[in-house]
């Protein structure tokens, strides 16, 4: 029985196929999981300037942002750069920052507790107290999200520019890839 002869593609065709595959993989990865870097102190102590992250667009194509996610979004003001903040409120929530006085090193200062739908909410990622500019109440409509930085005293967020609509949210920060000693998933 005679077996058919397998033809091997020529070197040129093999090279073109390899280049096409690599380009397609790079384009897909950039569309599905773009990279981002941190430029300021607004997400400290969770994220620091100079760190590099992978952002998943797929997470929010398949589902909606959840409270506690670290999300990248296009701010509603004239800023040209995307912002990265924590999702504090989701559609239908009432977010309230209730001002209170605290004594720090013998001095009385303003601080605030976060209430979501009337329930005091613990924020283990928010350790930079007291929060000097935390005050107000926001009720979110359908398709609206409330974003705040973990470093509230140095964050330009929903307290300043208002709620963020769903169409402005680009993706979820899922992985820190630089610096190497901080390499790993974000929670």
Task: Report, as residue numbers or ranges, the catalytic residues.
Answer: 42, 85
Burial class (CB in 10 A: 0-12, 13-18, 19+), 77: exposed
From start to end of the chain, where are the E strands? Answer: 35-37, 52-56, 70-73, 83-89, 94-104, 107-116, 119-120, 136-139, 144-148, 164-165, 169-178, 184-185
What number of other Cβ atoms are within 10 A of residue 135's Cβ? Answer: 13
In degrees, to the nearest 5, what angle opens at C-alpha 44 toward C-alphas 177 and 157?
A: 105
């Amino acid at each position: 029985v005679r077996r058919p002869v397998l033809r091997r593609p020529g070197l040129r065709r093999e090279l073109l196929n390899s280049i096409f595959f690599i380009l397609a993989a790079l384009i897909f990865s950039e569309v599905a999981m773009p990279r981002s870097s941190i430029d300021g102190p607004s997400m400290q102590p969770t994220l620091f300037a100079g760190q590099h992250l992978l952002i998943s667009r797929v997470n929010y194509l398949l589902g909606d942002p959840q409270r506690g996610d670290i999300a990248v979004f296009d701010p509603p003001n004239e800023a040209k750069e995307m912002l990265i903040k924590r999702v504090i409120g989701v559609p239908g929530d009432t977010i309230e920052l209730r001002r209170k006085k605290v004594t720090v090193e013998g001095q009385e200062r303003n601080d605030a507790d976060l209430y979501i739908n009337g329930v005091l909410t613990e924020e283990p990622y928010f350790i930079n107290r007291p929060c000097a500019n935390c005050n107000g109440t926001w009720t979110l409509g359908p398709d609206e999200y409330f974003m705040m930085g973990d470093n509230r005293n140095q964050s330009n967020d929903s307290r300043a520019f208002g709620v963020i609509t769903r169409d402005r949210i680009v993706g979820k920060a899922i992985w820190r890839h630089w610096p190497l000693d901080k390499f790993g998933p974000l929670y």
